[in-house]
Every structure is written in C-alpha cells, then in structure tokens.
C-alpha cells in the first residue's frame, strides 16, 4: 500500500461548483485522496477521491432504500476513520444532512459522553446514526428510546439492500452539514451551513488564504467534529484536489512526534493546530528527532482556534530550525464554525507579526497603543491579517458605536460565508445574527487599518486546549451541587500563568464552615472535571455579591473584573503581610 500522491494532469479548480457532490466528482478524476495512519504511524487505509465517490454512491443508495427522507439528519461519530468520509459524502448524494458528532472520550466519562451524544441526536432529530466499532457500545446507549430508522456500524449499513434511483444531491440552498460548536451539555447548538456558504468559504480559503497549488499536501491530526478538522482538512483539500495524511487525535496526544514524522516523510506543505498543539509537540521532541526530520516543505503552519500565544510558537520554531522549519511558515488565522471555518489569514511567508501594546492603557481605555520606551507594562497580540475578500467587519463598542483604529471592541462579521443560523433554534440564532446579516462573533479585538487583531476569543465561550466550553454549562453543573444557589454562579476564563486559558467559577454560598466550603469546592470541581475533563479554579463568595446588570442578569464580564481585582488585592496583601513578618522578625 502506498499513499496517494499529487495530480499530474488534472488542473486545480476551486470554483464553478453548485454543491459538494460536484466538487467530489471533479476531484475523483485525479489521482489524489485521503490517507489514514494508525497509532504507530503506519499507513492503514488509502481512500482516493475516486474510491470515495464510488463508495459514497453505493452507500447513498442503501440509505435511500432504508427509507431516509430528503433532508433527514445522519449522525456520524466523527472518529478519524474513512467511515466518516463515506457517510458524509453518501449524505451529499442522497440529499441527507450529515452531522459530525464528538468521538473523544475522557477518562471516567462514560456517562457524560453518552449524554452529550444523545442530546445532540435529539437536538437535530437524527434518523440514522453510525459509529465506528470502537464506539458502538456508547452509540447503543445514546440512542436508547430514540425514534430512529437505524443505528449501526459501517458493516451493518454495508449489509443493507441497494436502491436503484437517480440521485438528487443537496442543492445550493440546502444544508451541507450541521456542526455542533461546543461540548455544550445543556443546549447543543448546531451550526447550519448551506452548500453555497461552504463552497464560498472553501474557495476563499483555497484561493486567497492558502493560495493552493497542485504541489500542496495536507497533514492533520485535528478531529472531524471540529471545524478545523472537518472543513480545513477534509473539504479544503478536496476543493484543491490535493492529498491529505491523517493521524488520529489521540495518536497525536500520545505520540505528537508522529505528526512531524508524517510531514517530513510525505513532504507535507500545509498543517494547522491550535497553539497548544505546537507546544505539546515541542515539549516531547528529542534532539535526535530534530536531525532526522526534513520540514523544509512545510509552507503554511496555520495557528488558530484559541488565542494565539507567540511564545511557545517561537520555541517550536527555534527547536525545529535544524529540521528546516522556517518560522515564516506560521500563519495566524481567525475563524469560527459560524463562518464555516476561516474569516481571516495573515499574509503567507511572513510569520507571526506581534503587536506590542501598552497594557495599562489598554485595560483602562481599550486603546491598543504601541509601546514605546516609556511603557511600564506591555501585552503582545498577534495580527490575524486581512479578512478574506467576501467578508466585511465592524468593531463596535457595547452601545453599537463603531470604534476607530486600535480601539478594542466587539467584532461583527458579514458576508457569504456566514451561517444561516443554529439548526431549529431561532432564539440562539437571533442572539447572534442581526436581521441585516451581521454576526456578533462574541470575540473582542481591534483593527490596524484592514488587519484584525484578536485580544480575547469569545467573551462568553471558554476555550481550553481548542475545546469550546460554554460558561452557562459550567454554571448549570455547579448549581446542581448542594449548597449552591440557582443563579449564584459565574463562569469565565482568565489567562493563566503560562498564558493558557484557565476556567474560573465564582460561586455564591452562605456556608461559613470551612469543611463544608471545602466540600462545595471539591464537589463542583469533580463534577466539572467528569463532564468536561478540565480543571477549574473555584472561588467562593458571599451570597448576593455577584454583579448583575440593571435587568438582573448576571454579568460575567463584571464578575471576571471583580475576581481579578480581588486576586490582585490578595496578592498585594500577602506580600505586604510577608514584608510585615520580616520586619517584626
């Protein structure tokens, strides 16, 4: 077995398609496709675009024969497995809507995982669910009592009879897929992306963001239930008719060096990760590895998904310079599933451009003024480049007034890549999309002329190691703990000591007894860890002290400010107390 290579004859074509079926049909005329590597880094499956087309068409006939109605939702547990691609494209042919479901299971999180999948299936009203054999036990539990046509593994579906009907693939204004944007336990939100919308963003990424050529090759370990994995490393390579090499996400977590080995062995040119992926990899490298790699072809090392921290990226580049890695390959990107994937790219072949600003002025006035010789304290932010051509953006203050250059505010986006809305959820949709099509990203940033700088991702969403976590979900879990009052919890994130996001919960309680207080802290953190696999800092505060808006709504941003002020004050008092001890001694 050998991996797919590049196209020798088929010219790169990124426009002129009406739907994803047409994109696949064109790519299937070439020699490229998807290559899957196992936990030891050995090639396990090759799925060329032409084989994928053939497999997907047969599977589509089986799904139609099964009785799936047009537009029915097909939940796919999105393990890094060729099964995902087959079902995703079978849906495109059969006129069904694929829904990527999470596949990552945490230690001791059996019940939480099953519950999460079940809520997503209910939210989208799935008719069919498919899982890899490794996940069939969880799937069976998740679908119990749901009204489905079928739930099974690839093998179960392969045994179904085939219909013999003409396909009517999903059309321009029909959905291409639904994507759940977070590990949200309470209210899963399925981003609905139409064919026209996804094709627009794919074209813009291919043509303007990455400037794809027939010489490119993708390498990825990102999960397919995340927009960077699904769009960035299944659909973008497809629209460029390029080959991709995949490692499983958990393989990467266990053996991150396999990522670099694959890039080196196969001459990968494009690969992306959140900052933590580069940091994890750098931490595990051995000097002998560095000499054995050739990373000189890696021309676009995209960084996105969470706030970009330049320091670990620079370390990564320093260590791998000997492997031929050029730090100019770093491309800062900004995007979100609500805009398919990407909204802005920093210029290629430039590397990271870091804007160093006056931290104090920024905290007090929101102005990002470049630091000078007199600046006492500075903050560093990465320039995420110009928006892709289809987008317009606005930076507004909290009253909706547009801000000038270098002033931080709420980022709004508009354009043909913006989602239609959250699936069957008008309330959640109208909370973020205005009537005239502006998407409130929830992210905060400033502009330097037409370049965008992000200062904090999603004032509401907490992003830890690339996972989006909705504060509301953490608050709900905390409120299920004894001694915690409904509405008496605020969740947000702060930047930790190593510049990674740290989730914080401020919990109101009347409890005075130290043992009971400790019990609340342990119970809440245990419950959150069991559901989300993250560690939280818990800060207890007396009843009625969390800040609220005039309408009585909890203010997370004010809670965060208060928390930070309290911690700073405690720090000052502690050092004062220590100084006092020393003096009296």
Partner 1 sequence: MNKSIETVGQNLVEILTEYLKNNWADSPSSKQTITPATNMVTELQLDSFQVMEFMLEVEDHFDIVIDLESLSDIQTITDLASFVIAAQPE
d(CA 181, CA 189): 6
Binding of partner 1 at residue 518 (CB under 8 A)? no
Size of the site for partner 1 (CB under 8 A): 29
Binding of partner 1 at residue 253 (CB under 8 A)? yes
Single residue of 12, 18, 104, 153 touching partner 1 by CB under 8 A: 104
Both tokens of 472, joined, read 């509301």
Both tokens of 201, joined, read 């963003």
Single residue of 134, 186, 292, 365 touching partner 1 by CB under 8 A: 134
- If the CB atoms of residues 88 and 138 are measured against partner 1, the closer one turns out to be 138
Both tokens of 145, joined, read 């009592």
Binding of partner 1 at residue 388 (CB under 8 A)? no
- Reference 13, options 258, 253, 207, 261; nearest CA is 207
Give Cα separations from 370 to 33, 145, 204, 395, 578 (angstroms): 46, 59, 31, 19, 36
Only segment of 134-142, 259-267, 383-391, 507-515 that touches partner 1 (CB under 8 A): 134-142
At a CB cut-off of 8 Å and minimum separation 6, what does 391 contact?
A: 339, 343, 344, 413, 414, 415, 417
Angle at 338 between CA 434 and CA 529, to 5 degrees: 115
Q: What residues pair up with 440 in beta bridges, in sequence order? A: 412
Binding of partner 1 at residue 138 (CB under 8 A)? yes
Of all helices (H) and strands (E), which one includes residue 360?
A: helix 359-365
Single residue of 110, 119, 350, 359 touching partner 1 by CB under 8 A: 110
Both tokens of 440, joined, read 């409130």
d(CA 204, CA 199): 9
- If the CB atoms of residues 201 and 275 are measured against partner 1, the closer one turns out to be 275
Single residue of 407, 451, 465, 548 touching partner 1 by CB under 8 A: 465
Binding of partner 1 at residue 423 (CB under 8 A)? no
Only segment of 246-254, 290-298, 328-336, 571-579 that touches partner 1 (CB under 8 A): 246-254
CB 288, min distance to partner 1, A: 17
d(CA 443, CA 384): 13
Residue 319 near residue 348, CB atoms below 8 Å: no
CB 464, min distance to partner 1, A: 8
Binding of partner 1 at residue 516 (CB under 8 A)? no
Binding of partner 1 at residue 250 (CB under 8 A)? yes
Only segment of 1-9, 227-235, 455-463, 528-536 that touches partner 1 (CB under 8 A): 528-536
d(CA 116, CA 533): 13
Only segment of 250-258, 362-370, 392-400, 444-452 that touches partner 1 (CB under 8 A): 250-258
d(CA 495, CA 499): 5
- If the CB atoms of residues 274 and 445 are measured against partner 1, the closer one turns out to be 274
- If the CB atoms of residues 134 and 292 are measured against partner 1, the closer one turns out to be 134
CB 475, min distance to partner 1, A: 19
At a CB cut-off of 8 Å and minimum separation 6, what does 427 contact?
A: none
Binding of partner 1 at residue 271 (CB under 8 A)? no
Binding of partner 1 at residue 524 (CB under 8 A)? no
Binding of partner 1 at residue 105 (CB under 8 A)? yes
Look at the block and give the residue holding tokens 């003096």: 583
Binding of partner 1 at residue 376 (CB under 8 A)? no
CB 111, min distance to partner 1, A: 8
568: left (phi over 0), alpha (psi -120 to 50) or beta: alpha
Residues that bind partner 1 (CB under 8 A): 39, 104-110, 113, 134-135, 137-138, 250, 253-255, 276, 280, 283, 465, 522, 525-526, 529-530, 533-535
């Amino acid at each position: 077995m050998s991996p797919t290579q590049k196209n020798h004859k088929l010219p790169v074509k990124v426009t002129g398609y009406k739907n994803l079926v047409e994109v696949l049909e064109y790519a299937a005329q070439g020699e490229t496709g998807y290559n899957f590597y196992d936990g030891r880094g050995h090639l396990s499956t090759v799925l060329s675009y032409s084989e994928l087309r053939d497999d997907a068409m047969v599977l589509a006939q089986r799904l139609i024969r099964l009785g799936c109605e047009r537009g029915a939702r097909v939940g796919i547990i999105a393990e890094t497995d060729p099964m995902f691609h087959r079902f995703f494209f079978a849906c495109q042919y059969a006129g069904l809507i694929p829904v990527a479901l999470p596949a990552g299971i945490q230690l001791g999180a059996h019940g939480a995982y099953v519950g999460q999948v079940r809520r997503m299936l209910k939210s989208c009203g799935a008719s069919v669910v498919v899982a890899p054999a490794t996940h069939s036990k969880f799937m069976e539990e998740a679908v119990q009592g749901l009204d489905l046509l079928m739930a099974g593994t690839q093998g179960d579906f392969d045994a179904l009879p085939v219909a013999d009907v003409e396909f009517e693939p999903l059309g321009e204004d029909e959905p291409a897929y639904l994507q759940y944007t977070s590990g949200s336990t309470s209210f899963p939100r399925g981003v609905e992306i139409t064919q026209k919308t996804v094709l627009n963003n794919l074209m813009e990424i291919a043509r303007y963001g990455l400037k794809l050529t027939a010489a490119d090759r993708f390498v990825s370990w990102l999960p397919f239930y995340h927009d960077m994995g699904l769009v960035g490393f299944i659909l973008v390579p497809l629209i460029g008719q390029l080959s991709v090499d995949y490692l499983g996400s958990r393989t990467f977590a266990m053996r991150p060096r396999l990522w670099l080995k694959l890039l080196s062995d196969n001459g990968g040119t494009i690969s992306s990760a959140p900052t933590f992926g580069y940091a994890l990899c750098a931490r595990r490298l051995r000097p002998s590895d560095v000499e054995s790699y050739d990373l000189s072809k890696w021309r676009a090392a995209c960084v996105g998904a969470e706030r970009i921290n330049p320091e670990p990226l620079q370390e990564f580049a320093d260590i791998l310079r000997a492997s031929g890695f050029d730090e100019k390959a770093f491309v800062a990107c900004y995007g979100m599933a609500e805009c398919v994937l990407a909204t802005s790219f920093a210029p290629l072949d430039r590397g990271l451009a870091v804007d160093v600003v006056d931290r104090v002025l920024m905290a007090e006035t929101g102005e990002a003024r470049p630091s000078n010789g007199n600046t006492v304290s500075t903050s560093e932010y990465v320039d995420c480049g110009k928006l892709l051509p289809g987008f317009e953006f606005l930076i507004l203050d909290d009253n909706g007034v547009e801000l000038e250059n270098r002033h931080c505010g709420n980022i709004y986006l508009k354009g043909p890549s913006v989602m239609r809305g959250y699936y069957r959820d008008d309330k959640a949709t109208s909370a973020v999309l205005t009537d005239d099509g502006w998407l409130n990203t929830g992210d905060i940033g400033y502009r330097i002329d037409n370049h965008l700088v992000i200062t904090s991702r999603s004032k509401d969403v907490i992003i830890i190691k690339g996972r989006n976590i909705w504060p509301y979900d953490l608050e709900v879990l905390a409120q299920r703990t004894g001694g915690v009052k409904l509405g008496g919890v605020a969740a947000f994130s702060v930047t930790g000591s190593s510049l990674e996001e740290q989730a914080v919960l401020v919990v109101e309680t009347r409890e005075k007894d130290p043992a009971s207080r400790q019990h609340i802290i342990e119970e809440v953190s245990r419950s959150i860890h069991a559901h989300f696999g993250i560690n939280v800092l818990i800060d207890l505060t007396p009843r009625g002290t969390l800040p609220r808006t005039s309408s009585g709504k909890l203010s997370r941003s004010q809670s965060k400010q208060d928390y930070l002020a309290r911690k700073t004050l405690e720090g000052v008092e502690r050092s004062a107390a220590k100084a006092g001890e020393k003096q009296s001694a």
